[in-house]
Chains A and B, each alone.
Chain A
Amino acid sequence: MSWLLAAPILTPMTTAIVCLLVRRHARVERAVSVAGGGLLLAPCLMLLVAVWNGGPLAGQMGSWPAPYGITLVADLFSAVMVAIAGLTGFAVAVYGVADIDRERQRFGFHTLYHILLGGVCGAFLTGDLFNLYVWFEVMLIASFALITLGGERAQLDGAVKYAAINLVSTVLLLTAIGLTYGATGTLNMADLSVRVGAVENQGLVSVLAVLFLIALGIKAAVFPLFFWLPASYHTPPVAVTAILSALMTKVGVYALMRVFTLIFTDDVGFTHTLLLWVAALTMITGVLGAAAQTDVRRILSFHIVSQIGYMVLGLALYTPLAIAGAVFYLVHNILAKTSLFLVGGMMGRLGGCQELSRIGGFYQSAPLLAVIFLIAAFSLAGFPPLSGFWAKFILVKASLDLEHYVIAAVALGVGLMTIYSMTKIWILGFWKPAPGGSDTAPVPAPSPGETTLRLAPAAALTALTVVLGVSPEPFLEVATRAAAELFEPRAYVEAVLGERP
């Protein structure tokens, strides 16, 4: 059992406990939270290096051999996701120090935040379906508490819708897992990938695939199951929105990619065609929803939905290139989107709200913020030479290779619509002079320390998208290899179950 596999789960859990122990000392708790976020980054990156050099790593909990025990396993895709989770987890923890008020901290923001990170890492690393369900619940309960923390009217309203739909998805996921066990007699994902093909009643396997698609689709916020996301994500403080948008829905996408590359691959003509429709409609509805909004955070929330479509598109096309595109897109999107949410939060802090008709003039009053926004927004929209360009380029190329011209056109059109929304924020939020009406209460200017805490994480994440865009070659290699492992999961299965004759 390699400690490296358990460390990304144990570190945030330990941090959560220490935060709880020092909760009477606000400054100490904040320091512990940031330090814990930084500490998490170390095992995450070490795991990535280890998996890159040595292939998939697997460990059995309590030394019960697979498929009987609970397996932790990291292939390159898992390792990349864990690394990016550690990175954004650290960045948002720093931002949270400035963004979270005393009251919310007293009710346990930092503890819940690290439990959420632990749940996310657990979901990325587990090799067992039921264990995946449990990690989803760990994340879910932490996110419920984070979304309601503070108890404002809008938050409770959003949380009701968030909780209601996610609880249904929980029940569906449990049912799907139970029926999978009934059909195959195993819940170990590597074992399942071997056994699903041998099930006599292949119709039942298709039913299971669709059940998983619906249950995980709710978590990933794909069309037509995404309505909870724009209803709730704009209500809590920005630090919460940023971490939820960066990691929660992406865990859903991760699980979809895992399940539909490892387990349900026998009837690709049916399942992946379904995914293709889902991807196209998700992209379109998300971007149209964003066009109708005038609040920065609500625009960005709808864009989460539309960008989930691109990732599902990569999975649906199901070629090594397309999956590499999806992996690239996941990483690019987590970086750019988190950065945009943090910029939006700073706009809200400076202007008193994030409603575009009531703020403005940040190009003049906060030029650094404007630069960060511009880079992150262009990256999201897919301008060369930023990371979004390469992510979209690979996906469009993959669909053209398969002669899916319509979906390629949709992907490009949605990119144009993204530019429209980003330009809207740019013109109304940055260029237009601040309205200064009677209904905007004057906001006290943030201290230099607070400005640094808020801008540094956003700037760092944006800088990473630039690096990823200017020299995509090394990361493209990682994504290609991760995709190859996903597409041909022999190494993954052997790492878990041992050498097969």
Chain B
Amino acid sequence: METMLAVLVGWLVAAAVYLMLSRSLVRYLFGLVLISNAANLAVFASGRLSTSAPALVQPGQLAPAADVANALPQALILTAIVIGFGLLAFAFVLAFRAREELGTVDTDAMRVAEPPALTPAAAVDREGRSAA
């Protein structure tokens, strides 16, 4: 079981990395969805996979009678899913707004915050103006 899950996580990460290396912001975000699910599955596996009972205590007892599954990784994943969902929702809206304002989802074409270096001619022009 662990092997299968490991292979699945591996495939998910591979697909996610492939998507995230793309210049398109939308593909990047889909890659992010995949890789965060891969991370969740990895956390799930850290609690050991077993077919034991849910971690419930019978009335009147202080400890569960039989072997129980580890509930902590599941709680961690639940938290991670909620956080991940919020972040993803933000990221998608950000991508949408960036498309509206900048007119592109190609991350290489987004050069507003870091404009490309001035060509020598343009630099001379600018120097000339500031000296004048």
What residues of B have a CB within 8 angstroms of the CB of A183 in the complex?
46
Q: For the complex, is A120 an interface residue (Cβ under 8 Å from B)?
A: no
Tally B residues with Cβ within 8 Å of A: 43
CB atoms of B95 and A175 under 8 A apart: no
Query: Hey, which bits of chain B sit against chain A, CB under 8 A?
Result: 20, 25, 28, 32, 35-36, 39-40, 42-48, 72-73, 76, 79-80, 83-84, 86-87, 90-91, 94-95, 97-98, 101-102, 107, 110-114, 126-127, 129-130, 132
Q: How far is the CA of A230 from the CA of B86 in the complex (A)?
A: 25
- Say yes or no: A178-B39 contact (C-beta < 8 A), given A151-B101, A157-B113, A234-B113: yes
B113 near A181 with CB under 8 A, answer no
> Is A232 part of the contact surface with B, judged by Cβ < 8 Å?
yes
16 contacts between A and B (CB under 8 A): A130-B79, A134-B79, A137-B83, A148-B97, A151-B97, A156-B97, A157-B110, A160-B95, A175-B39, A181-B76, A182-B46, A182-B48, A231-B113, A357-B130, A435-B130, A437-B130
B25 touches A160 (CB 8 A): yes
Nearest chain B residue, comparing its CB with the CB of A159: B94
For the A-B complex, the count of residue pairs with Cβ-Cβ distances under 8 Å equals: 115
Contact A181 B101 (CB under 8 A): no
Chain B interface, >50% SS class: helix
Instruction: Choose among A161, A163, A437 the residue that contacts B90 (Cβ–Cβ < 8 A).
Output: A163
Q: Are A170 and B76 in contact (CB under 8 A)?
A: no
Q: Which residues of B contact A158 (CB under 8 A)?
A: 113
The total of chain A residues at the interface (CB under 8 A) is 43
A11 to chain B, nearest CB (A): 23
Candidates A151, A156, A160, A171; contact of B35 at CB < 8 Å: A171
Whether the Cβ atoms of A437 and B129 lie closer than 8 Å is yes
For A164, the closest partner residue in chain B by CB is B28
Contact residues in A for B87 (Cβ distance below 8 Å):
137, 140-141, 144, 167, 170
On A, residues with C-beta under 8 Å from B are 130, 133-134, 137, 140-141, 144-145, 148, 151, 153-161, 163-164, 167-168, 170-171, 174-175, 177-179, 181-183, 230-232, 234-235, 357-358, 435, 437, 439
Name the 7 nearest CB pairs between A and B, nearest first.
A182-B46, A178-B43, A157-B113, A158-B113, A157-B112, A154-B113, A175-B39
Given the interface pairs A141-B86, A151-B101, A358-B130, the reply to whether A156 lies near B43 with Cβ below 8 Å is no
Contacts of A182 in B (CB 8 A): 45-48
Query: CA of A182 to CA of B5 in the docked complex: distance in angstroms?
Result: 14
Output the least CB separation between A488 and chain B (Å).
30
Given contacts A141-B90, A174-B43, A435-B130, 11 further A-B contacts (CB under 8 A): A141-B86, A157-B102, A157-B113, A160-B95, A163-B94, A170-B83, A174-B39, A178-B42, A182-B48, A232-B113, A234-B113
Contact residues in A for B35 (Cβ distance below 8 Å): 168, 171
Report chain B residues within 8 Å CB of A137: 83, 87
Contacts of A159 in B (CB 8 A): 94, 98
